Structure 1
Amino acid sequence: MNSKLFVSMLSILPVVAHADIQPLDDGMLGDVTGQAGISIDLSAKVKMGEFRYTDGGSIAIENILIGGANKQKYFNIDWGPGSHSGDMLDGIKLDIDVANDGDLWIVAKPLPAYGNLVDFGVSTGAWRLMQSTGISHTTLLSSLSFTGVASELKIRIDEATSVINLQAGFGIDDLDVEIDFLGIGIEDAVIAGTGYIENMEVSSYGVSDLMMPVNLNIYKGSKGLKFDVVQFEADIVLPTINIGGASIGSVYVNDLQLNGSSFEIYGH
């Protein structure tokens, strides 16, 4: 995949519709994972000093770290061993199978001993715009970090239609970002399932309240790479928004739905 397409994919908020492929359900999953295949117990931490995309000028993202969140509680709840991974992304079992019809399935879930959730943490340093000479005068972000927990990831590549169906369930319990060129800072933001705001005052959450359902179909469109949205639903809470170093209050978005949306990415 070329760098222009990769960066475009990173910029898209996951949303999904319909593309002649059925979403994965537990019955279909059981039929596939009951077959012979490969299982991988994952323990990983990814570091990158810089990721740079160059067109005329460049955008550079510094000091990227992907691993565990190294916390005991998420959404003010201790979820057990799966969320106690330190700075490693672990407690995850990957099952890889090729079904009789030629479909490739990749399923990631917490290992049985780790409960029903695993934690994750992502952080970066500055995001900088650069001239073709490599000189940078604009810092888009000085820092970005977020932590959370995830319940599953399912990927199916359909042999007959060449459509990738991606499903995931996850919640972000703490997002902090400094948007330098606008003078905006966001602290302690939450992006979770649609049961989060309704239960926020009593702090009594089930997994279904916190996991955002994300269901995407990805395939070759008429112009380029097409993203159709089957399901994306979330509650968003921005409790602290600073502009010029002073708080301007908070923002709550309840029951956001982007179901049925569609995006196509192509060169120009």
Structure 2
Amino acid sequence: MTRRNACKRLERFKPALCRFFTLSLTASLSLPVMADFRPLDDSSLGNVTGQTGVTIEMETKIEMDRLSWTDEGSLNVNGIRLSGHNDTVLDNLKLTLDIAGQDEVLEYGFSEIARRANAGLLDVSNPDVADALARYAVGGGYGKQFDSGDLVIHLGATDYGNPASLDDYLQAVDFELAVDSIEATGSGGTASLFSNVMLQGYIGPTDLVIRNQGNNTRTLANGNVVSGSELQLDTHFEITDGSLDWDAADVILLFNFAAVGIEGLQIHNRRGDDTLGHFGMASATAKLSRGTSAASGKEGLSIHEVDFRADIDMPVFKVGGTSIGSVQFTDFAIKNTTMMVYGH
């Protein structure tokens, strides 16, 4: 059969093929599934909204030559580096981001410890483990209960190692922070405040929560009025080895040392009376929001309900280059602290 004859035969089938296609399409549209093509109401749309949040696995290394704040003079932080131990990549980080529903329980603090304890992987005779189980087992889940619209960001590890090992959990994320110098510069020249800063340690569970309270306000004990919508920070960490030269600087308006060198610095929480629930790690919490000062009437950034707890060891404490022995702080605590920050 020639190609021309074959084409002529196909031409005769075209009308039949068109009728078959039209009937098939009509039949398919008349099937019961067609009845599901209808507008969704608000309730139905709510059911198809994503509910599970976002997880980000991250590794990074941050370097900055200089960070400067300039007024009449300037304050310079030089040679900043954040990495893993020994200048490696800061890795094994996992961020979970969730917008909470009303009374939703989300991962928070040492909730992973509570989950393992409930599964029989950790010994509840350990006081810290027992405290975590009591504190973070909430409503059939593990974590903390939040209000509708709260944004919860939890920093933990991608891989915690052996699920029956507390050490693996606590040392899952290692970090190293280095700063060449912190200097103040003015018309009289440059003064070094700190130099040769090197800190190594571990990052424990860290949480950032943006509480959604709309335009509501509340009054603090000192009379300051602050927004109910605030940023809440809760973190645990440990410094296992640190060193710095304390050239001249005030710290929390209490200490002013000059020509001091510190080696073997450790910051933890393994001694004293407030260790329960911290697994040997130092802790810090704070809340930040817009506020109005009761004393001055100024509006600014309110930093309130600050709480820092740690034991601090300085085994080598040098003055003028010569060691004068070791210094230790036990149950070092900053609490009941409120600050209002504004320009002038």
Q: TM-score, normalised by structure 2?
A: 0.57
**Residues 1:42 and 2:109 are matched in the alignment:** no
Q: Larger relative contact order (C-alpha < 8 A, sep ≥ 6)?
A: 1
1:55 aligns with 2:95: no
Q: Shift of the alpha carbon at 1:239?
A: 1.2
Q: 2:260 aligns with which of 184, 187, 195?
A: 184
Q: CA deviation at 1:98?
A: 1.4
2:336 partner SS: coil
Aligned to 1:163: 230
The reply on whether 1:217 has 2:300 as its aligned counterpart is no
Amino acid at match of 1:168: T
Tell me which residue corresponds to 2:84: 68
The separation in 2 between residues aligned to 1:158 and 1:215, in whole angstroms, is 15
Q: 4+ residue runs of structure 1 moved beyond 4 angstroms?
A: none
AA at the equivalent of 2:329: V
**Once structures 1 and 2 are overlaid, which stretch shifts more, 142-151 or 252-261?**
252-261
Identity %: 29
Find out whether 1:174 has 2:241 as its counterpart: yes
- Rg (Cα) greater in structure: 2
1:80-120 CA distances to partner (integer Å, 9 max, x unpaired)?
A: xxxxxx61111011011112321111111111354423111
Which 10-residue stretch deviates more, 46-55 or 34-43?
A: 34-43
C-alpha distance in 2 between matches for 1:264 and 1:175: 31
Tell me which of 106, 118, 128 is aligned to 2:183. Answer: 128
Report what 1:25 is aligned to.
none
What letter corresponds to residue 147 of structure 1 in structure 2? Q
Give the Å deviation of 1:249.
1.7
Q: Which amino acid is 2:322 matched to?
A: A
Q: How does 1:79-90 map to 2 (within 5 A)?
A: 87-90=88-91
Q: CA deviation at 1:260?
A: 2.4
Quote the Cα distance in structure 2 between the aligned partners of 1:125 and 1:192.
Answer: 24
What code does the residue aligned with 2:287 have?
N
Q: Summarize the alignment of residues 237-248 of structure 1 with structure 2, pairs less than 5 Å apart.
A: 237-248=313-324
The one-letter code matched in structure 1 to 2:245 is: E
Count of residue correspondences: 211
Once the two structures are TM-superposed, the CA of residue 267 in structure 1 deviates from its matched residue by: 1.9
Q: Following the alignment from structure 1 to structure 2, what is the Cα–Cα distance between the partners of residues 145 and 263?
A: 28
Match of residue 97 from structure 2: 96
C-alpha contact 1:141 1:180 (8 A) present in aligned 2: yes
Q: Is the 8 A contact 2:306 2:338 kept in 1?
A: no
1:151 aligns with 2:221: no
- Which shifted more, 247-256 or 174-183? 174-183
- Compared CA separation, residues 183 and 89, structure 1 to 2 (3 A): same
Instruction: Tell me the CA shift for residue 210 of structure 1.
Output: 2.3
Distance 1:43 1:206, change over 3 A: farther
Q: Which structure carries more helix by proportion?
A: 2
Q: 1:260 matched to which residue of 2?
A: 336
- The answer to whether the 8 Å contact 1:140/1:180 transfers is yes
Cα separation, partners in 2 of 1:196 and 1:148, compared to 1, 3 Å: farther
Contact 1:129 1:140 in 2 (8 A): yes
What does the per-residue CA deviation read over 1:47-86, in whole Å, with 9 as the maximum and x for residues that have no partner? 001111101011111110001123xxxxxxxxxxxxxxx6
Greater shift, 137-146 or 184-193, is seen at 137-146
One-letter code aligned to 2:96: D
Q: Which runs of 5+ in 1 are unaligned?
A: 1-33, 71-85, 199-204
Q: Which residue of 1 aligns with 2:32?
A: none
Higher alpha-carbon deviation: 145-154 or 214-223: 214-223
Superposition deviation, residue 207 in structure 1 = 9.2
Alignment partners' CA distance in 2, 1:253 and 1:180 = 21
Task: Kindly indicate whether the alpha-carbon contact (under 8 Å) linking 1:128 and 1:136 is maintained by their aligned counterparts in 2.
Answer: no
8 Å contact kept, 2:271–2:331: no
Look up the match of 1:76: none
Alpha-carbon separation, structure 2, partners of 1:175 and 1:65: 14
Cα 1:228–1:59 change in 2 (3 A) is same
Structure 1 residues 176, 169: closer, same or farther in 2, change over 3 A? same
